[in-house]
Amino acid sequence: MSYTALGRRLPSFLRRHILHFETSIEDAVRAFAAGVPTHALVLDAGAGEGRYSSYFSRQTYVGVDLGVGDSGWNYSELDALADLSQLPFRGDTFAAAINIVTLEHVREPQLVMAELARTLAPGGRLLLIVPHEWEEHQQPHDYFRYTQYGLRYLVEKSGMRIESIEPVGGYFRLMGRRALNGIQFFPGLWSIFGALLLGLPGVILPLFDFLDKKRNFTLGYICIARKSGGV
């Protein structure tokens, strides 16, 4: 069962506990959208199937993707099919942009960051979320993982400035997620054994995440950046 399907079946509190990365992303997008003015243009760079479009119902949402990440996805609702390193928009167009767990899937992340900076209006804000400790996915289009320092380098080199970078959980949340990942290796009737062996650690380990103060072991980072200029 995919984590998306699993999330639909879990009670809200348990979903938030187990699928911490996914719910943290949703919280970040919701908070970011609340700060974008009504009717403003918002770019979702790497939109996939546009799963975050509903958060921007007050704004004008523009979804763009290359459309190669997942063969089972429906890309027909996108506003444009395009390489993120060559966005088909004029400069200073968007009041805000989001790039959600997409930067690992582009071959030239610096070019993509430069394009996001170019198309943002002066003072425009970017919500950027990247993985740090994550399995390969959407192969073969999976190229990079990011530290907070690599992320800062890419953002600042593009001419934007960092407002915040936050890790998504620490060591114990990471290990809890890895335990749950392991259930997939127990096929058929063995899946019951796998669930018993790894399911309990997957639920219990995140409870100890407060012990990791540095959070050098993390699932990923949530970053907010701003283009210079504007009011």
Amino acid at 130: V
Whether pTM exceeds 0.85: yes
Please report how the helices 148-157 and 109-119 are oriented relative to each other, as an axis angle in degrees rounded to 10: 50
d(CA 184, CA 188): 10
d(CA 67, CA 16): 29
pLDDT tens digit at each of 231 positions of the chain? 444 555 556 678 788 888 999 999 999 999 999 999 999 999 999 999 999 999 999 999 999 999 887 878 889 889 999 999 999 999 999 999 999 999 999 999 999 999 999 999 999 999 999 999 999 998 999 999 999 999 999 999 999 999 999 999 999 999 999 999 999 999 888 888 888 899 999 999 999 999 999 999 999 999 999 998 866
Q: Tokens 């027909």 — which residue? A: 76
pLDDT at residue 14 in the model: 80
pLDDT at residue 1 in the model: 40
d(CA 174, CA 110): 27
Among 108, 122, 126, which Cα is nearest to 45's? 126
157-185: burial string, b at 16+ Cβ within 10 Å, e else: ebebebeebebbbbbbbbbbbbbbeebee
The answer to whether the beta carbons of residues 95 and 103 sit under 8 Å apart is no
In the DSSP assignment, the letter for residue 134 is -
Measured in degrees and rounded to the nearest 5, phi and psi for residue 12 equal -55, -45
